[in-house]
């Protein structure tokens, strides 16, 4: 018995029209807004899902910090360091108490003269250390002695403020500096006379974010801690309160 057109349509079902994508449809025949939103999220950033009451973040997703999050060192500064410095120097106004302004990380790549790709690798390592995308620094003028051309990429730098600044300082003091070989303390005289402190690190692999096996080369790193202190004595007391391991 030959099949009719109705029988063929029943077996094959309704086929989608060419050139149009299938949209989630609710019972009433109209597109379901909730289903469409979830489908749209799947195309964009990975979304978190719940299994057994626990929230699981998909691979590659960045979970934002809670709104009431306060860095550990910032809380210590507000609760302990401010009263301590006020008592030590006799400040009459709370705004006189010195505080951290910013931290600048600078990484120079001398080998970039022969291979500019090493600057990109150094910038990637600096981004892991700082938790923030760095800026590629370029030569201002050509220097034939060092084979440097004008506008050539020669390093990377990044400026940290607020929460990221306190988090980096916490990792530097508690994790990175104790991993330095033959470490005997920081130089207590490396101030510039205006309350800013500078220190140099010979090997950037002391930071736990850097994988030793994947590091292409040992790179140096300059760290400048800028404060609002007016004198070196005030800045030194501030950094000592943050447990900076100054040499005795």
**Cα angle, residue 55 at apex, residues 49 and 56 outer, rounded to 5°:** 65
pLDDT given for residue 56 in this prediction: 43
Pair 159, 104: CB distance under 8 Å: yes
pLDDT given for residue 53 in this prediction: 46
Burial 12-50 (b: 16+ CB within 10 A, else e): eeeeeeeeeeeeeeeeeeeeeeeeeeeeeeeeeeeeeee
pLDDT given for residue 47 in this prediction: 52
Measure the CA–CA gap between 237 and 135, rounded to whole angstroms. 32
pTM of the model: 0.67
Pair 41, 47: CB distance under 8 Å: yes
| Low-confidence spans in the chain with pLDDT less than 70 | 1-65, 111-116
Measure the CA–CA gap between 154 and 136, rounded to whole angstroms. 8
């Amino acid at each position: 018995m030959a099949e009719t057109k109705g029988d063929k349509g029943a077996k094959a079902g309704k086929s989608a029209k060419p050139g149009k994508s299938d949209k989630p449809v609710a019972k009433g025949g109209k597109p379901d807004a909730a289903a469409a939103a979830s489908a749209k999220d799947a195309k964009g950033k990975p979304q978190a899902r719940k299994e057994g009451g626990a929230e699981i973040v998909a691979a590659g997703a960045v979970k934002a910090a809670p709104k009431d999050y306060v860095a550990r060192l910032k809380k210590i500064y507000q609760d302990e360091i401010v009263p301590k410095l006020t008592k030590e120097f006799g400040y009459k106004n709370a705004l006189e108490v010195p505080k951290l302004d910013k931290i600048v990380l600078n990484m120079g790549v001398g080998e970039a003269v022969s291979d500019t790709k090493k600057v990109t690798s150094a910038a990637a390592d600096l981004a892991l250390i700082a938790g923030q995308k760095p800026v590629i620094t370029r030569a201002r003028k050509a220097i034939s002695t060092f084979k440097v051309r004008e506008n050539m990429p020669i390093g990377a730098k990044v400026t940290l403020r607020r929460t990221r600044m306190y988090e980096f300082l916490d990792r530097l003091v508690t994790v990175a500096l104790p991993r330095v070989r033959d470490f005997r303390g920081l130089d207590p005289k490396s101030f510039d006379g205006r309350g800013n402190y500078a220190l140099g690190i010979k090997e950037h692999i002391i930071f736990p974010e850097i994988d030793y096996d994947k590091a292409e080369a040992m790179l140096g790193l300059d760290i400048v801690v800028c404060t609002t202190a007016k004198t070196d004595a005030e800045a030194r007391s501030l950094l000592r309160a943050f447990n900076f391991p100054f040499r005795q």
